[in-house]
Chain A
Amino acid sequence: MSDRLKRVFLFMAPRNHIEPRSVGAVRPQTLHFAEPLRLKSGAVLDSYDLVYETYGTLNAAKSNAVLACHALNAAHHVAGWYAEDPDNVGWWDNMIGPGKPVDTDKFFVVGVNNVGGCFGSTGPKSVDPKTGNPYGSSFPVVTVEDWVNAQARLADRLGIGTFAAVMGGSLGAMQALQWTIGYPERIRNSIVVAAAPKLSAQNIAFNEVARQAITTDPDFHGGDYYGHGVVPRRGLRLARMIGHITYLSDDVMMEKFGRALSSGSIGFHFDVDFEIESYLRHQGDKFSEYFDANTYLLITRALDYFDPAAAHGNDLSRALAVARARFLVVSFTSDWRFSPERSREIVKALLDNRRDVSYAEIDASHGHDAFLLDDRRYHALLRAYFDGIFERL
């Protein structure tokens, strides 16, 4: 039997789990933290709010908690929907829910909007209690380490001593990795999807173009646009457009749009001719309506600065020497933003440390965004891994 046929049969095989469902209507919650958060930069956030959601039930032993970390443009709304806004479905709803790979009948899943965000946790558009005005340009630069420190405090407040797993894709995966370094005794499994141990020069270059788009928008006002009644929409739109290009593969873009024309023929003008142009503009418009430009700057900077090996002579193996967790590392073949090669660097460092690690390279055509999509092989793997975590609880 050919491998292809075998795969088809494998996926046709009946599964002995119930039909996946959604966690249903969910409601975000907010906790206030009065204890100052000392940031990597040396700055201090005197107090802050974290908005979060939870799904499933924390067991009596408090051993079944899973933290799902968000990437660039998402937040605490990981699964389910809002009663008042049923179309607003969580960003990892295909992964997390009853009967889903991360089964909320077994696990207690936490999603949190990171500090510096724009969806309810304290960030640049929040009011600085010292001035009574939005933080704007005075909001300190935050790092992945800072986020993880804040997440650990949230865990304290929720009564979670140790996470059964911390998981994330892309920038979320960097947080899952940082947990194993910053809090090795508080994480039993780290699920690192579509990650890189640090950004390449090309990655930083794309981020810089996005930031330049924002900061050169006349409506940016040095980051203090809130008082001017404007937002740097054009900049944010461009930033999203360039980002979006890096999330997709050349193949999937060609397959989805090709050179299709919006109006059937070229117009000999510089307005929209090609479908891909119209798609990118739409993505940019949508994004600029709900995302805060300062948060975009902060998050891209956090990506740039993430480099756990830097403090260890650029030796990732040494950086991960403290890690105690078991790891699942997953990459996608068509991801050119964080290619499989980047994930293999992480795997190599874990092998050097004799850590328990499994690594899968998923043959998916969707590029970096594949980590958010419902791919059978990917989801079957995550399901199997989480079944194993549950057995060891």
Chain B
Amino acid sequence: MLDLGCGDGVLLKYLEQTRNARGYGIDIDDANVLACVRNGVNVIQSDLERGLAGFDAGSFDCVILSQTLQAVRHTEEIVLEMLRVGREAIVSFPNFGRWDLRLQVALGRMPVSAELPYQWYNTPNVHLFTIADFESFCSGHGIRVLERVALHRGRPVGALANLLGSIAVYRIEKPR
């Protein structure tokens, strides 16, 4: 497993302890690297924006990018890199298509919510996109969606995912 933007490594630690998974986290931040070492998980300090050149194709069962895709500059490259080094990828992101965010924009303000707690002037999020945008990105890049779940307050939403989901989680692969 490879966890991109792994933060303090708790997800890796959890998966190692509960699923017997083995893996590496990648993070650029010094404090996160230190936290990972404290948590006893493997971490490679590296800038995601520079790609995953240190990893061979197909070297991971699964590459995870949790709540980070909206905050990177080279979005397209990173998704393709994930699917190069991993047989499949799990991506989660805040859905800008949720109805209350749409409403805020319709009322003339940039959206702020529990999942997107930033103001326009201090947000780390540089690519704002919706579930529909991501699906069209996948089909445009020959990426197959294996599984999809949209969540709101931790619970899966049924229909109208793009309207009701605040977080989306995708399991994807790129057939070789």
Which residue numbers of A lie inside 8 Å of B, CB to CB? 3, 6-7, 10, 328, 344, 347-348, 351-352, 354, 356-363, 377, 380-381, 384-385, 387-388, 391
Within 8 A of A (CB), among B10-25: 22, 24
Within 8 A of A (CB), among B28-47: 29-31, 33-34, 36-38, 40, 42-46
In the complex, what residues of B have CB within 8 A of residue A6's CB? 31
Please give the distance in Å from B49's CB to the nearest CB on chain A: 15
Interface residue B175 (Cβ < 8 Å from any Cβ of A): no
Please give the distance in Å from A13's CB to the nearest CB on chain B: 11
In the complex, what residues of B have CB within 8 A of residue A388's CB? 37-38, 40
Please give the distance in Å from A31's CB to the nearest CB on chain B: 35
Known pairs A7-B31, A381-B37; A357 contacts B56 (CB<8 A) = no
- Give the total of B residues in contact with A, Cβ under 8 Å: 20
Contact between A359 and B34, CB atoms less than 8 A apart: no
Interface residue B55 (Cβ < 8 Å from any Cβ of A): yes
Within 8 A of A (CB), among B58-88: 59
Contact between B42 and A385, CB atoms less than 8 A apart: no
Contact between B54 and A380, CB atoms less than 8 A apart: no
Contact between A351 and B59, CB atoms less than 8 A apart: yes
Contact between A381 and B44, CB atoms less than 8 A apart: no
Contact between B54 and A358, CB atoms less than 8 A apart: no
In the complex, what residues of A have CB within 8 A of residue B24's CB? 351, 357
Known pairs A357-B44, A358-B44, A359-B43; A348 contacts B33 (CB<8 A) = no
In the complex, what residues of A have CB within 8 A of residue B42's CB? 356-358
Q: With A and B bound together, what is the CA distance between A86 and B43 in angstroms?
A: 40
In the complex, what residues of B have CB within 8 A of residue A380's CB? 34
Known: A380-B34, A381-B33, A384-B34. 19 other contacts (CB 8 A): A7-B30, A347-B44, A348-B54, A348-B55, A351-B24, A351-B59, A354-B22, A356-B42, A357-B24, A358-B37, A358-B42, A358-B43, A358-B44, A359-B44, A360-B45, A361-B46, A384-B37, A384-B38, A388-B38
Which residue numbers of B lie inside 8 Å of A, CB to CB? 22, 24, 29-31, 33-34, 36-38, 40, 42-46, 54-56, 59
Q: With A and B bound together, what is the CA distance between A75 and B126 in angstroms?
A: 52
Give the one of A328, A363, A384, A388 with max B CB within 10 A: A384
Please give the distance in Å from B35's CB to the nearest CB on chain A: 9
In the complex, what residues of B have CB within 8 A of residue A7's CB? 30-31
Contact between A377 and B30, CB atoms less than 8 A apart: yes
Q: Report whether over half of chain A's contact residues are helix, strand or loop; otherwise say mixed.
A: helix
Please give the distance in Å from B30's CB to the nearest CB on chain A: 5
Contact between B33 and A360, CB atoms less than 8 A apart: yes
Q: Name the residue of chain A whose CB is nearest to the CB of B29.
A: A3
What are the 7 tightest A-B residue pairs by CB atom distance, in nearest-first order?
A: A384-B37, A384-B38, A359-B44, A348-B54, A360-B45, A361-B45, A358-B43
Contact between A352 and B40, CB atoms less than 8 A apart: no
Q: Name the residue of chain B whose CB is nearest to the CB of A380.
A: B34
Kindly identify which residue among A348, A352, A359, A384 contacts B45, using a CB–CB cutoff of 8 Å: A359
Contact between A344 and B54, CB atoms less than 8 A apart: yes
Q: With A and B bound together, what is the CA distance between A381 and B43 in angstroms?
A: 12
Known pairs A351-B24, A359-B44; A381 contacts B31 (CB<8 A) = no
Please give the distance in Å from A341's CB to the nearest CB on chain B: 11
Please give the distance in Å from A54's CB to the nearest CB on chain B: 26
Q: With A and B bound together, what is the CA distance between A71 and B81 in angstroms?
A: 38
Q: Name the residue of chain A whose CB is nearest to the CB of B54.
A: A348
Please give the distance in Å from B133's CB to the nearest CB on chain A: 29
Q: With A and B bound together, what is the CA distance between A384 and B56 in angstroms?
A: 29
Known pairs A347-B54, A351-B59; A358 contacts B30 (CB<8 A) = no
Please give the distance in Å from B160's CB to the nearest CB on chain A: 36
In the complex, what residues of A have CB within 8 A of residue B46's CB? 359, 361
In the complex, what residues of B have CB within 8 A of residue A361's CB? 45-46
- 27 pairs, CB–CB < 8 Å, chain A vs chain B: A7-B30, A7-B31, A328-B37, A347-B44, A347-B54, A348-B54, A348-B55, A351-B55, A357-B24, A357-B42, A358-B33, A358-B37, A358-B42, A358-B44, A359-B46, A360-B33, A361-B45, A377-B30, A377-B34, A380-B34, A381-B33, A381-B34, A384-B34, A384-B38, A385-B37, A387-B38, A388-B38
Q: With A and B bound together, what is the CA distance between A328 and B37 in angstroms?
A: 9
Give the one of A358, A359, A360 with max B CB within 10 A: A358
